[in-house]
A and B are shown apart, each in its own frame.
Chain A
Amino acid sequence: MKDSANQPVEAPEYPPELARLPPGRHGLPREFVAHNQRERLIAGLAEAVAENGYAGTTIAHITRHAAVSRRTFYEHFNSKDECFVAAYDAVMAELSRRVGEAFEQEDEWPQAVRAGIAAMLEFLAAEPHLARLSMVEALVAGPVVVERYDAAIQNLVPYFQAGREGRSQKVLAGLSPTTEEALVGGMGSLISRRIFADRTEELEALLPDLVEFTLTPYLGSSEAAKIARAS
């Protein structure tokens, strides 16, 4: 057993990319501190937005949560919007890393899809504030973020397109050019609706439905249902 003194007291509230250093002097290299200040500001924004919503968040809220000065804020970001974009990107990078890793760990495509969806739901359920930031607040944060949001959903398309490989002519004939787009859109709407309604605790229970929904066009409904309901 490891020395319990080295164990974190509680699970970190944010993924590693958003982790924070305690404020104060720590004799760390300047570049590292600068980088870390940026991360603290990002984490501070996530907390401030969780508390006040994007529209109600001020730079003072962010710097208070990050425990840095206003001046430090402006050394890193020109505006609240810019800081939000950085936070949004950090969350989405983490989410897509987890989905990608889960997907790659499976050899069979249907299982890989299942693992990828499970990783996404798990992350969003475990981090309700970040889920809200990336799917609810993102839409009110202006066109730059909305564009990124759209791109993030469209970025899931290739995971499903991979399912076309090796399918029979008959199956392929049943797929249209927009099949994958409709699948990621449908999946996104189920997820975002629950986040909007503050029902993130229901997210993980969506797994079988989402797996069956997304695999059916490629495998047929009974095969898809079998994989979806396998534990």
Chain B
Amino acid sequence: MGSNSTTRPLPGRQQLPREFITRHQRARIIAALAEEATEKGYRAVTVADIVKRAGIARNTFYENFSSKEECFLAAQEYGMSTALGRVVEAAGSFDEWPQRVCAGLGAFLGFVVEEPALARTCMVEALSAGPAAVRYYEESQQAFVSLFKLGRDVSPRGAELPETLEEALIGGVFWILYQRLTSSQLEAISELLPQLSEFALAPYLGPEGARKAAAL
């Protein structure tokens, strides 16, 4: 499925179905929140900031969301499901598990580089946006756990690996990206793919197996 997030809504009155307009409004509001949060940190963002940046009326905001918090959760959900959708699609085009992991990681890094504000909202700001946001952040990481866990089937040590391995690997990858996002080293992110692939594959395939698979 293609992403329509780059499509700019046209100004003025349109002869468009109401549902279409609503969807666009929501997307615009979400994008505005993500950009504002990236600039000044989520805590400092007000509904007035979001409204101004989205170029909509305050009423329109409240027709879509009851509060800044609800808008944040929607942005987070949109961001994570976009990222996850890309990962699943990329991983799905390979049969071998190591290639699936590398492709999935590549797609995830691609999302972070192409949608830095949304990525920052999901991976940085979410941590300081209250308990519901943190809970969603934690749960959404679990989706990646299942992709990694399949590695146990191809690993000679599959049965002996620590139970928390996947949680730790994903935590490691998220931390590295968190660091790059908070220090605005976006260019460095796409170069991380071989390193992160090796890091994720090594516990299953051993260092040499991981290096070979990551180099493919």
Q: Is B64 an interface residue (CB 8 A)?
A: no
Chain A residues closer than 8 Å to B202, beta-carbon distance: 174, 216-217
Nearest opposing residue in chain A for B156, CB measure = A221
| Contact stretch, chosen from A20-28, A114-122, A177-185 | A177-185
Chain A residues closer than 8 Å to B169, beta-carbon distance: 186
What mask results when residues 214 to 231 of chain A are scored 1 for a CB within 8 Å of chain B, else 0? 001100111001001000
Asked if A189 contacts B207 (CB within 8 A), the reply is no
Q: Is B176 an interface residue (CB 8 A)?
A: yes
Cβ 8 A contact of A209, one of B141, B164, B179: B164
Asked if A185 contacts B199 (CB within 8 A), the reply is no
Q: Is B147 an interface residue (CB 8 A)?
A: no
How large, as a class, is the contact surface on chain B?
35 or more
Shortest distance between the CB of B183 and any CB in chain A (Å):
9
Shortest distance between the CB of B213 and any CB in chain A (Å):
13
Asked if A178 contacts B195 (CB within 8 A), the reply is yes
| Contact stretch, chosen from A7-15, A34-42, A60-68, A142-150 | A142-150
Q: Is B171 an interface residue (CB 8 A)?
A: yes
Nearest opposing residue in chain A for B160, CB measure = A225
Chain A residues closer than 8 Å to B173, beta-carbon distance: 182, 185
Chain B residues closer than 8 Å to A189, beta-carbon distance: 141, 167-168, 170-172, 174-175
Asked if B182 contacts A150 (CB within 8 A), the reply is yes
Given contacts A209-B163, A225-B160, contact A186 B206 (CB under 8 A): no
Give the CA-CA distance A173 to B178 in the complex, in Å: 25
Tell me if A's interface is mostly helix, strand, loop or mixed.
Answer: helix
Q: Is A140 an interface residue (CB 8 A)?
A: yes
Shortest distance between the CB of B186 and any CB in chain A (Å):
16
Cβ 8 A contact of A186, one of B41, B163, B172, B192: B172
Q: Is B211 an interface residue (CB 8 A)?
A: yes
Shortest distance between the CB of A209 and any CB in chain B (Å):
4
Chain B residues closer than 8 Å to A153, beta-carbon distance: 175
Shortest distance between the CB of B39 and any CB in chain A (Å):
12
Give the CA-CA distance A178 to B175 in the complex, in Å: 11
Given contacts A213-B168, A225-B160, contact A143 B203 (CB under 8 A): no
Please list the residues of chain A having a beta carbon within 8 angstroms of any beta carbon in chain B: 139-140, 142-143, 146, 150, 153-154, 170-171, 173-174, 176-179, 181-190, 193, 196-197, 206, 208-210, 212-213, 216-217, 220-222, 225, 228
The 3 residue pairs across chains A and B that have the minimum distance between CB atoms: A185-B175, A189-B171, A174-B207
| 24 contacting pairs across A/B (C-beta < 8 A) | A139-B134, A146-B127, A150-B178, A171-B207, A173-B207, A182-B172, A182-B175, A184-B175, A185-B179, A186-B168, A186-B170, A187-B171, A189-B171, A189-B172, A193-B138, A193-B171, A196-B134, A196-B138, A197-B138, A210-B164, A212-B162, A216-B203, A221-B157, A222-B157
Please list the residues of chain B having a beta carbon within 8 angstroms of any beta carbon in chain A: 41, 43, 127-128, 130, 134, 138, 141, 157, 160, 162-165, 167-176, 178-179, 182, 192, 194-196, 198-199, 202-203, 206-208, 210-211
